[in-house]
Structures are given as structure tokens and as C-alpha cells.
Chain A
Amino acid sequence: MSVVLTWIVFLPMLFAGILGLFRVRHTVLRAGAMLSALLVLALTLLTVVQFDPQAEGMQFVRHLPWIFQYGITYYLGLDSLSLVILLVIALLMPLLYLYMWDNPTSGYWYNMLLLQTGVTGAVLALDMVLFYLFYETMLLPIFIMIGRYGHDWNHAHAMKILLFTVLGSMAMLFAILYLGYAHYNFYGNWSFAWHDLARLPLDPQTATWLAAGFLLAFAIKIPLLGFHTWMAAAYASAPTPALVILSAIMAKLGIYGLWRFGYGIFAKVLHLYEPILLALSLVGMLYYAIHAITQNDLRRMFAYSSGSHLSLIALGVVLANLYAWSGSLYLIATHALASAGIFLMIGLIHQRTDTVQIDALGGIASVAPRFAFFFTFFALSIAGVPGTGGFVAELLIIIGAFSVHPWLGAATATTMLAAMLFVFWMLQRTLFGAPAPSVATFADLSRRETVMLTPLVLLLLITGIAPSLFTPIFTPQVQEMLLQFIHAAGGAS
């Protein structure tokens, strides 16, 4: 069983290699890509079934030596935190391939295959150097896709996202290397395994600086307020499948990093950063939502919407109690589903009308009722309407905040208003009113498109109606992580 994660990570890359070697036709390429995505999904579901929520620590661990001299290892493993994100990736990929089905540009398909390996690897890697490698390589397909297949100033915007995130990861790389060296200094051998690094008896000042390196990388990736100016640009230019990965998965990896490595390695000094993180995520949540109100480009609007929700997730992580952490983890999954749905549908609007400018749209509901229904559903899911998974997650984070302090709770509860500010006005101008000239020939959802969107709708409904089906998978380990964090943080004082 321990090789299953290796297969999950490298299967898409393997397919890309084989398909590329034979320079296959579009029809074979897309079938191959879909096959790889479905195989990964099957393997992922297998791990979910085999996963033991009650067990402590990492499961399905694969830990092999790689570069002896420097203690760098091939180290994959998974706990409930990574499992949730892995599951989201595996679920979304087949749907994205369905979206791209008729796109004949083969470079597009190869990039997507490589992208899957990149993001999956980053979620499963437990050796910091390996993590860094995946964390960087997943950016390259995105960079290429924005640059080659994107729109609206795509070259400049591809450069912007690359420079911003590389700046962050450089700081992280430095911190990682320093940690490995510190391990050598203390114990006489190099190691980059995260659990070894978490045990290092660093003096607080050094740890503070190293934590800053990590936090900078993750703050840019999420992005937290002030580190976000690449976000709207990249979202506006990215082609739809890349955009879905960007919003549904890559941004979550920033949260994942903060959670796994920020809280896992730097528990002792993190309290120094907590007020800053708290302020940035709380203010960011509202700042982004307000910014979204007047955006005329749908992709930009939901870029800010995404930023608002990611700030909420980050807030939940910073609050560090059982409810908030469970809520954040739940929101990672449900927001991925909802934002995937909305961005896919924005892509469909683009395909049909050649525009995503709100003022050029209007009246879609009159010509395409099914489209309007799905679009409204995803928009309302983003707004966290009960009956969808987002509501459960937001409720848990709000309750977690109230458990910390009433004022913090009330401030967090404003998230109920945040998405409202732009979602309904947007719906009014895109779906309702008299049909605009651009939507006169707007086709309703085709069968393929309906098949693509229905799993997202069903999952959002099930996560909202019966969260008890999902929470037992992760709550025991979240509780465990929390205890470890409190223990480690308490050790310092």
C-alpha cells in the first residue's frame, strides 16, 4: 500500500511522458489524460477507504533515501489535512478535462498533466526539499498556460505571478536550507524531513526569522492582504482550467503550508505573528469582498471573492481551536468545489459570448434557464447559503471565533455579509433583466457541460445537508494536531 501515493503523484506525469513520446493525436491525448485522471481518482478513493481516521500521524508513508550526503529523502505521506486537498484535486481533474474536451491545443493538455503531478506532490511531500521542488514546479505549468493560452495582458500577468511567488519561495528555500544546516549542527547529520525539523531546539530569535521566510511564501500564495496584487491580474488572464486550479487548489496550498509547516515547525514562535495574521485575514476578508463589488470583469470579481474566502480560511487556521480548524478544513474543500463551479461557468460564458464583462451581459436567465440555475447555485454556494457545504464551514469558523472572544466572533460573522455585497448585484446584472445583445444566441447547458457541473452541485449539497458523513474522517486528527500544537507552543513559555 505504501506505493499508492507515488502512483497518485506520478501517474499523470508518466502519462504525459508516454503520450508525448508517441506524439499522439488530440483524441488519444484527451482520452489518455482523462484515463490518468480517473485512475488517480480511483486510487485516491482507495486511500480514502483504507485511511484510518483514528490513527495518529502520517499514513501510507513512503520514506526512501535520495541524496545521502545532505539527508534529502523521498518522503511522501498523508494525514487527514492532506487527504482532503488530495481528494479535491482528484475530483476536479476529470471535470476540468471534460471542460477542455474539444480543445485541440496539445500543449494545454500536457501542462495540465504536469500540473496535477505538481500540486499533488506538494500536498503529499513531507521532506522540505521535496516539498519545495513540487511547490515551485507546479507554478511553471501555470506560468506557461497564462503566458501562452491566456488573455488580456497575459504576458505581463504571467510574469507578475511568477515573480511574486518566486520571491516568496526564495525566502522559504533559504529558511529550509538553514533548518537542514541547523539539524546538522545539532545532531551531526543533515535532515529535511519535516518531523525532524519540528524537533529542532532553535533559539527563539532564529526561529522567528526562519518562520518569517515560510510565512512570506505562504502569505503570497494565499494571498493575504497586501501580498495580493498578483491575484486579480493572474485570475483575469488565466485560461479557465488553470484558473480553477489556481483558485481551488493552489491558493489552498498556501493555507496548507501555513498549517502543516508554519504550525508544525514553528509552533513556539508563531504567537508572535498571530496578531498580524489575524488582522490581515480579518481585514482582508472584508477588503476583498468590498473590492469585488465594483469589478466589471467576472474573473476579477471572483478572484477577490476567492481572496475573501481564503482570508476566512486563514483566519480559521489562526484561531487554532477545534471548531475553527475543522471549519477551515471543510471550507478548503467546499470552497474549492464552489469556486471550481463558478469559474467553469464563467469560462462557459466566455466561450459563448466572447466576454466576461458584466456590463456586456444580462438576461441569461431568459434564454438559458438551466445555465441560470447552475450559475445561481454556485454563486449562492459561495455566499454560504445553508444547504451547501460552505455554510457548515463558515458556521464552524464563526463558532470557533466566538469560543475565543465575543468580539472576534462578531467580526468573523461579518463573513455572512461579505459575499452578499457583490454576489446578488452580479447575478442581477448577468442573469436577469432583458437579454443583452451578446446573449441573444446564448445556448443552454449541453449534456457534457451538465455532466461536468452536476458532481459539483451534488457534492456541495451533500456536504451541506449531511456534514456528519465527512467530519468523522478528519476531526480526530484535527484534534490530535491541535493538541500537538498546543503542547509544542506551551513548551516555549
Chain B
Amino acid sequence: MSSSLPSLIVLLPFFGAGVMGFVYLFVPAGRNLRRFYVAVGIGTPLLAALLGLIVVGEMLTLPASASIASPLYSWIAIGSFEIDVAFVVDRLSAVMLLVVTLVGSLIHIYAVGYMWDDQGFGKFFAYFNFFLGAMLLLVLANNPILLFIGWELVGLASYLLIGFYHHDTANITAANKAFLLNRVGDFGFVSGLGLLFALQKQSGFDFAAIFAGLGGIDTAMLSLIGLLLFVGAMGKSAQIPLYVWLPDAMAGPTPVSALIHAATMVTAGVYMVARFAPLYNRIPDVGLFIAGIGAASALLAALFASWQNDIKKILAYSTMSQLGYMLIAVGLGEYSNGIFHLAAHAFFKALLFMGAGAVIIALHHEQDIFKMGGLGSRLPAVRRTMLVATLAITGIPIFAGFFSKDAILSYAFASGHTTIWAIGVVVAFLTAYYMFRLYFVVFVAPNHRSSRSRQSPSLTSLPRSMVWPLFVLAAGSIFLGFWNLPEAYGGSTWFSHELHLADHEAHLRFAKEYILDGFNVLVALLGIAIAYRKFVRPSHPLNAPIHRIAWQRALANTLYIDTLYDRLIVRPLRGISNWQDRLIDPKIIDGSLRGLVTLYRGVATQSARLQNGNLRWYALTFLLGVSGISLYLLIAIGGAS
């Protein structure tokens, strides 16, 4: 069936962005426009969320394989390259639609409080709405080209928002890095699409047509396409080796980190793999590779997170680590588990970032956790909601993360990928450790520093719009898990069932599942206990750790990967560029041309020397000429006769 609502949902935020951007640039400043920005900036996401709920409600009444199409216009039609601007809401995009609009709306509301005093309030909401539109374009696109356009535009929004505080060049450097690394991924993505199109024999390039024509392409080529597409996901979802932009992306305002770099944009890679499930189901080897990259990234990021002191960087690495889990899931073919973890993660990670943002604002932009301490009693609402989110990400039973993460791990175990399962468990342990390290140091442990140096620093009181979205997200972090209650706990995996994706099947006996889950919980509790021992009951006064040992220093500096990229890519490119400027162009190309000119001049000068006005010289050449010609005549003509 078709409906115009999905198109409207996508267009609304773009419209809001355009209006706000225009007003920001062309209406003279000084007038207080904040009310206008608030009305438009919050109005469009809320309206989009409302329409989204209506569309999804309508869709749930349809059979699971049905979808709601929303064609808008023909984007381009050259030869068999026919691309429409058309949107589709099926079960998969419905989940994404709800996550993006609901969590997005909450973060928009939160941002009103967070950004209130900022000079660029209007600009911020213009960018924020633009991001939302681009993200909806990405998830609702009915063909991969449109998806790619959304994919690039969210990257652009991310660039603009990371560099939002553009007075500081460091922020712009971070923004550039994000865009560049994403573009490296996009280079892979677009190559995958180009190859797919070249091999596609059917007409039409929307998802349905592509999946119908996959049988005509040989497996080696399909694997290449799958790999290339996944290179795009490596960039967007910050996986090895393209992840280094994500921690730096925290330079943006905290609502940006919550919405773009935790809840939505970075999950686009996971969504893309799930969207291309019919393709990846044909190439399980590539799927295993994806799961491997996911597992390695999850582990690496968890290690990094355990050694960071910046609250936002801890959360950034945590995001990368959780994205690793999701990629394990979609790589192994358990798409609905991956998407479920994506949805649950959107709630608790957005909550963690927003809580962190509240702390940062309350402490006047302090981000080092070891300069916080003992905030629990002074920010009780933030503390409680943060605790919920921390328990959720740690995977403590009844919280959303328990169900979503354990489903992924027990599937990995059941399908025989025990190495990946083991890595997942180690990551779960580390997650519990670094998350509670954060929680304990910020909220529970007494604030040594402040009691010593300055008497309890003044706290800014938080505006209401920054507090109550936390409670909504906390509720989600608690109850979302019950939507996908596994059969072992008396549920029916309603969510996975309704999602209707081409999942691989693998089942465990209930007893085994209880043992695995119990083991996971024990591991998590162990992590919490160690964090408690180290940071709440420390044997010596709590201070920012000083890393003396080489490997600790290396981890705190995230293995010097940035430096490595700088040495291997950035500097050589600049070197080549200079070399072209100083050597190739002027010396070799112009030089050889100048050589020609010099040669020409030389010949000309030499010829000019012959004309020297010396009569004897003329007589001599005349004589030589005449005798030469005579000689020639004698030999050539005389000899012939």
C-alpha cells in the first residue's frame, strides 16, 4: 500500500532546517528569536515522531511482509539507471523510524536547555533538524542510492556539528577527521554500489529489484560487493580500522554526541548490513568477517574505555564497543538481535550521554571524571537515571541490555562461534568495569580534590527540559527488554518475530541458556566488584591515574593509532604535494620545456654567428658550398651516367 506520510516525515525536518537556517542568516540578530527556534526546532521532530507512530501503527495491521511505499518523484533516469526519490516503511525501517524520531525528539528537547545560552542557538537547531532529516532519508530510502545520499548527508551534519564551536581549531580538526574517515568508508560503499549496478542484469535499482536479481551474480563478486559495502559501515559505525574519528567527535556539543554519535548515525552501518540481509545471507564468509571486525572492535574499544579519564571519551569508546556487538549479531546472521540491541542501545546510550552532559553543564564544562566525584547527593535525578543506564549497558537482568546483549552472545555460542562468544564475554566484563568505574568515580566516591582545593564548587542548576527526558529514556532502558523476552524466560521474542528479517536459526536448550546468562551476569558482577574495590573503597586516595607502565600509557593514548595514521598517510601526502610543487612541475615539466626553449635559442644564436659581416668568412663558406655542390654533382650525376 502507499501513503504520503513517510515522505512527509522525511521532508519535515529538512523544511525546519531550511527555515531556521534562513532566519539565522538573514534576519538581523539582536531580536530574540529563541522562541521561534524552539517552536520549529522541537516541533518538526515531534510531529515527525507522531506521524511515525501513525505509520507504524498502520503497518502493524498489515501482514509482516507488507510495506508502505511512499514514492515522491523520479530522481534520475538514464539508461537503466532509474532512481526514484521514494520511501518505504517496512518492519525494519519502522524500528529505525521510531528510534530516530522518538529518541531524536527527546534529545532535541534536552538540547533546548543545554544550548540555551549559546550564541549559535538557531544554527544549532538548523543543523540538528538537518541531521534528523538526513537520518530519516537514510533509513526510509527504498533504494541504495537514496540511502547513500542520506548516509553522506548525516556525515555532513556530523561534520558541521562536531565543529560547532569553531573558534577552537582543535574542534575543526576533529570534524575534518570525522568527515575524511567517513569518506574513506564511503569510497568503499559507492564502489560496492557501482559494482552491484554494473553486474545487475535486471532493470530497476531499488532494494526489491536488487534482491530479486542477486541470483544472477556469481558468489565471488557478491562477496566483493558485500565487503565494499561493509567498508562504508566501518567508517560510519566507527569500527577497526576507521574508528579513530569517533572519540574526537566528542568535541561537539553533548546533545550531538548523544543523538549522532551514539543513538542514530553510528548505527547506520548495522542498519545497512541488516537492510542487505538477502545479500549477506548468500556470503556467510563475509558475514563472519564482519562479526570478526565487530568482535575485535568491541574488545579494543572496551580496553580503551577502561583507561580514559574524559567522561565523553569513555562513552564514545563504549559506543564503539557496543556497535561491535551489533555487528557481531548482523555478521552472524541474527539480524533481529542486532537491530534489537541497536534500539535498546539508542535508549541507554543516549541517556548516558545526556546524563554526562548534565554533569558537564552543572560543573561548568568539566569533563575529567577524576575532577568530579561525589556528585550523587547533589544531582540525585541525574544519578538515578545514570545508574539505570549503567545497569542496562552492563547487562544486569530485567534491564534492556541484559536481554539484547545476551541474545547476541547465546546465539554466537549456539551457532558454534565460540571464539567470538568468548571475546563477547570478556567485553561484557570490561564493560561492567569501565561503566561502573565512571559511575562510582563521578557519583559515589567522595570528592577528594574539591575537599582539598576548593570548597564544593558551585553547581549550575539544571533546566527542566534537561531533566525529564532522562526519565523517559530511563523507563525505556528498563522496560524495552520485555519486548523481546526470549522463550527461555516465558516470552515469545515478539520483537524479533514481528521484525520479520531473514535471520539464521540457532537454538539452545533452555538449561544451557540459563547457564550462559548466569555466567554473563557473574562476569558483569565481577567487573562491578573490581570497580567498587578500586574506586569506592580505595586503598590510597583517589586521584587521576598516572600511567607509568608502557602498556598502560599505550592504552591511555589509544595505542598511538592517530600518530600512526598521521605518519603513514597525512604527512606523506603533504610531502608528495610539496614535492610536486617544488620538483615535478617547475623542474621536470617546465624544465624540459625550458630546455626546448634554450635549445631553440642556442641554435638561433649559433646561426646568427654565421652572419658576422666578415668578408673572408663569407668567401670561405661560399667556397665550401660551391665545392660541396660540385662534389655532389660529380658523384651523383657523373656516377649515374
Which residue numbers of A lie inside 8 Å of B, CB to CB? 226, 228-229, 232, 287, 290-295, 322-323, 326, 363, 365-366, 369-370, 373, 380, 385-387, 391-392, 395-396, 398-399, 401-403, 406, 409-410, 413-414, 416-417, 420-421, 424-425, 427-428, 431-434, 466-468, 471, 475, 479
Q: Which residues of B contact A380 (CB under 8 A)?
A: 156
B191 in complex: contacting residue of A228, A363, A386, A409, CB < 8 Å: A409
Binds A, one of B295-303, B572-580, B611-619: B572-580
Min CB distance, B118 to chain A, in Å?
Answer: 14
Are A406 and B195 in contact (CB-based, < 8 A)? yes
28 A–B contacts from the bound complex (CB under 8 Å): A228-B589, A229-B589, A229-B590, A290-B573, A291-B585, A293-B574, A294-B581, A323-B81, A326-B78, A365-B166, A386-B149, A386-B153, A398-B191, A401-B194, A402-B194, A406-B195, A406-B224, A409-B191, A413-B190, A414-B187, A417-B187, A425-B176, A428-B169, A428-B172, A428-B173, A433-B167, A433-B169, A471-B78
Min CB distance, A162 to chain B, in Å?
Answer: 14
Are A468 and B73 in contact (CB-based, < 8 A)? yes
Are A403 and B198 in contact (CB-based, < 8 A)? yes
Given A417-B187, A467-B76; 20 other pairs, CB 8 A cutoff: A226-B589, A229-B586, A229-B589, A294-B578, A366-B166, A373-B25, A385-B153, A391-B152, A398-B190, A399-B81, A402-B191, A403-B197, A406-B195, A409-B191, A409-B195, A413-B194, A417-B183, A421-B573, A424-B159, A433-B168
Are B77 and A468 in contact (CB-based, < 8 A)? yes
Q: Which residues of B contact A434 (CB under 8 A)?
A: 167
Min CB distance, B583 to chain A, in Å?
Answer: 11
Are B194 and A468 in contact (CB-based, < 8 A)? no
Q: Which residues of B contact A403 (CB under 8 A)?
A: 197-198
B545 contacts partner chain A, Cβ-Cβ < 8 Å: no
Min CB distance, B635 to chain A, in Å?
Answer: 34
Which residue numbers of B lie inside 8 Å of A, CB to CB? 21, 24-26, 73-79, 81, 123, 145, 148-149, 152-153, 156, 159, 163, 166-169, 172-173, 175-176, 179-180, 183-184, 186-187, 190-191, 194-195, 197-198, 224, 573-574, 576-578, 580-581, 585-586, 589-590, 593
A417 to B189, CA, bound (A): 13
Question: In chain A, what residue has the closest Cβ to B575?
Answer: A294
Q: Which residues of B contact A322 (CB under 8 A)?
A: 78-79
A406 to B187, CA, bound (A): 14
Are A420 and B574 in contact (CB-based, < 8 A)? no
A262 to B163, CA, bound (A): 47
A424 in complex: contacting residue of B153, B176, B187, CB < 8 Å: B176
Q: Which residues of A contact B590 (CB under 8 A)?
A: 229
Are B190 and A291 in contact (CB-based, < 8 A)? no
Are B166 and A431 in contact (CB-based, < 8 A)? yes
Are A432 and B578 in contact (CB-based, < 8 A)? no
A202 to B34, CA, bound (A): 74
Give the top 8 A-B pairs by smallest Cβ distance, nearest first. A402-B194, A386-B149, A402-B198, A294-B577, A432-B166, A293-B577, A424-B176, A433-B169
A387 in complex: contacting residue of B149, B197, B593, CB < 8 Å: B149
Are A293 and B573 in contact (CB-based, < 8 A)? yes
Question: In chain B, what residue has the closest Cβ to A411?
Answer: B191
Q: Which residues of B contact A421 (CB under 8 A)?
A: 573
Are A399 and B166 in contact (CB-based, < 8 A)? no
Q: Which residues of B contact A326 (CB under 8 A)?
A: 78
A260 to B76, CA, bound (A): 25
B179 in complex: contacting residue of A363, A406, A413, A424, CB < 8 Å: A424
A290 to B575, CA, bound (A): 10
A322 to B77, CA, bound (A): 12
- Which of A365, A468, A471 has the most C-beta atoms of chain B within 10 angstroms of its own C-beta? A468
A414 to B188, CA, bound (A): 9
Q: Which residues of A contact B580 (CB under 8 A)?
A: 287, 290-291
Min CB distance, A146 to chain B, in Å?
Answer: 18
Are A290 and B577 in contact (CB-based, < 8 A)? yes
Q: Which residues of A contact B576 (CB under 8 A)?
A: 290
Q: Which residues of B contact A373 (CB under 8 A)?
A: 21, 25
Q: Which residues of A contact B153 (CB under 8 A)?
A: 385-387
A391 to B83, CA, bound (A): 14
Are A396 and B75 in contact (CB-based, < 8 A)? no
Are A416 and B163 in contact (CB-based, < 8 A)? no
A468 in complex: contacting residue of B74, B123, B198, CB < 8 Å: B74
Q: Which residues of B contact A431 (CB under 8 A)?
A: 166
Q: Which residues of A contact B123 (CB under 8 A)?
A: 369
**Given A432-B163, A434-B167: A386 touches B78 (CB 8 Å cut-off):** no
Question: In chain B, what residue has the closest Cβ to A366?
Answer: B167
Min CB distance, A85 to chain B, in Å?
Answer: 19
Are B194 and A399 in contact (CB-based, < 8 A)? yes
Question: In chain B, what residue has the closest Cβ to A300?
Answer: B581
Min CB distance, A69 to chain B, in Å?
Answer: 35
Are A229 and B593 in contact (CB-based, < 8 A)? yes
A54 to B261, CA, bound (A): 49
Are A386 and B152 in contact (CB-based, < 8 A)? yes
Are B179 and A420 in contact (CB-based, < 8 A)? yes
Are A433 and B172 in contact (CB-based, < 8 A)? yes
Q: Which residues of A contact B169 (CB under 8 A)?
A: 428, 432-433
**Given A290-B580, A323-B78, A471-B76: A428 touches B194 (CB 8 Å cut-off):** no
Q: Which residues of B contact A425 (CB under 8 A)?
A: 176
B76 in complex: contacting residue of A232, A392, A398, A424, CB < 8 Å: A392
Q: Which residues of A contact B194 (CB under 8 A)?
A: 398-399, 401-402, 409, 413
Are B75 and A468 in contact (CB-based, < 8 A)? yes
Q: Which residues of A contact B197 (CB under 8 A)?
A: 399, 402-403
- Which of B156, B198, B576 has the most C-beta atoms of chain A within 10 angstroms of its own C-beta? B198
- Which of A290, A370, A414, A425 has the most C-beta atoms of chain B within 10 angstroms of its own C-beta? A290
Min CB distance, A333 to chain B, in Å?
Answer: 15
Min CB distance, B544 to chain A, in Å?
Answer: 29
Q: Which residues of A contact B166 (CB under 8 A)?
A: 365-366, 431-433
Q: Which residues of A contact B149 (CB under 8 A)?
A: 386-387, 391
A246 to B614, CA, bound (A): 52
A402 to B225, CA, bound (A): 12
Are B176 and A428 in contact (CB-based, < 8 A)? yes
Are B577 and A416 in contact (CB-based, < 8 A)? no
Min CB distance, B115 to chain A, in Å?
Answer: 17
A395 to B146, CA, bound (A): 12
**Given A395-B145, A433-B169: A410 touches B191 (CB 8 Å cut-off):** yes
Q: Which residues of B contact A386 (CB under 8 A)?
A: 148-149, 152-153
Are B81 and A291 in contact (CB-based, < 8 A)? no
